[in-house]
Amino acid sequence: MLDRRIKLRHIESFVEIVRQRSLKRAAERLYLTQPAISKTLKELEDMLGATLLTRDRGGVALTRQGEVFRHFAEMSLAALQQGADSVDQVARRGKTQLTVGVLPSVAAGLMPRVAAEFTAMAPDTMLRIVDGPHDFLIDRLRGGTLELVIGRLGTPELLTGLSFTQIYNDTVVFVVRPGHPILEAPKLDRVGEFQVIYPPPAAVIRPLVESFLIAHGIGEFPNRLETVSGAFGRVYTRMSDAVWIISRGVVANEMADGRLVALPFETGLTTGPVGLVARPDDEPTPDHRLFRLAVRTVLERDGEAAYHMTATAPRNDLAQGP
């Protein structure tokens, strides 16, 4: 059980001594006398019943117990600081900006509700949303133009050096306009009779679609148009006999209100994880944490079924930084 006599000053003093590797320098940083910080350290060790530091001419060194305690002490201080920063961020009148990149499937499905939730949590932060293909978003995340990305889990090479927190699974669907001729006999081997809107090589769903078609013995479509543009696909599919192969999230709203119809194909092989991508070396800002909290809140409140998704991430993972 935690000894309630342990105060914030004990944790701060211990962590600063470890950082400075000197009681004298730690005392100066905390505006304390050396006898005062020595007494505080001794109190902490007595309450824990363990020696945390050894002292010699070279300074201080952590014991094995000290190494263990240091990890949790630093985490505790960081959590308190981030909590205080978050409260301050919500209360401040100054306007900050958070730039988030999202796939078209996220922009059309989950993101509008997340944006509304985040705006309520952080009214003084301007949320800037950029949508585009996966490679485009990841390149801009690496370059610092974007702070967070909600995208599909790409290849290991593409995500090297980045953190990925999975939040739900999305799948690919084949959609057509209401009244499309294929609806009379919807079979996968008939799709090639029509023009197909197909994901381009850079699209993260392209390998999943190709694997799915190969598994079902379907060759290359002779008449195809390549794009993942939601704006184009929605209009073109409804005005033509094209069959659009696209992530379910992109067309979930159109399917729900009957403007587009999903062909009854079992596309479980195309299921892939979607999650939050970040640079792990960045210190999470209060805005980053509030955005993660907004995502978690929306999924818990509305339920994954509202987005035709399956959630996968533990809820507390979304509230944490990368």
List pLDDT tens digits, range 83-130.
Answer: 666 666 555 555 678 999 988 878 878 889 999 999 999 888 899 998
Residue 313 binned pLDDT confidence (cut-offs 50, 70, 90): very low
Same domain, 244 and 209: yes
Residue 308: pLDDT over 50: no
Length of the chain: 322
Are both 256 and 198 inside the same structural domain?
Answer: yes
Residues 305, 138, 224, 266: is their CA dihedral positive or negative?
Answer: negative
108 and 22 share one domain: no
Same domain, 47 and 29: yes
Supply the mean pLDDT for the chain. Answer: 84
Domain boundary among the residues 233, 252, 270 is at: 270
In a domain, 244, yes or no: yes
Across the range 6-31, mean pLDDT stands at 87
Q: Position of tokens 């403007």? A: 259
Q: Quick check: 316 pLDDT over 60?
A: no
Record the pTM: 0.60
Domain endpoint, select from 72, 91, 110: 91
Asked whether residue 30 falls in the same domain as residue 42, the answer is yes
Which of 318, 252, 257 has its CA nearest to residue 291?
318
Rounded CA-CA distance 137/162 in Å is 13
Q: Clarify whether residues 120 and 180 are in a common domain.
A: no
- Both 134 and 276 in one domain: the answer is yes
- Look at residue 112 and tell me if it is in a domain: yes
Span 199-256, pLDDT tens digits: 988 788 889 999 999 999 998 898 999 988 888 999 999 999 999 999 988 888 899 9
250 and 179 in a common domain: yes
Does any domain span residue 1? no
**What CA–CA distances, in Å, run from 103 to 25, 111, 201, 250, 303?**
49, 10, 16, 9, 20
What is the rounded CA–CA span in Å between residue 206 and residue 156?
16
2 in any annotated domain: no
Is residue 3 a part of any domain in this protein? no
Tell whether 102 and 116 lie within a shared domain.
Answer: yes
Given a cut of 50, is residue 72 above it in pLDDT?
Answer: yes
Residue 155 has pLDDT above 80, yes or no: no
Strand residues in the chain grouped as ranges (E): 53-56, 59-62, 96-102, 125-131, 148-152, 163-170, 172-176, 196-198, 224-226, 243-247, 261-262, 272-278, 310-311
Decide if 224 contacts 209 (C-beta within 8 A): no
Say if residue 80 is in the same domain as residue 28: yes
Among 58, 91, 124, the domain-final residue is: 91
- State the pLDDT at residue 317: 54
Number of domains composing the chain:
3
| 3-state helix/strand/coil string of 3-33 | CCCCCHHHHHHHHHHHHHCCHHHHHHHCCCC
Question: What would the mean pLDDT of 34-51 be, rounded to a whole number?
Answer: 90
Domain that holds residue 278: 96-170+272-318
- Give the whole-angstrom CA distance, residue 281 versus residue 321: 10
Q: Tokens 């796939």 label which residue? A: 103
Tokens representing residue 120 in the block:
């309520």
pLDDT at 194 over 50: yes
For position 205, which CATH number holds? 3.40.190.10
β-strand pairing of 272-278 with 163-170: antiparallel
Taking each continuous run of H as one helix and of E as one strand, the counts in the chain are 12, 13
Position 204 scores a pLDDT of 81
Q: Taking residues 267-271, report their average pLDDT.
A: 91
Residues 19 and 129 in one domain: no
Query: What pLDDT was estimated at residue 95?
Result: 66
181 shares a domain with 252? yes
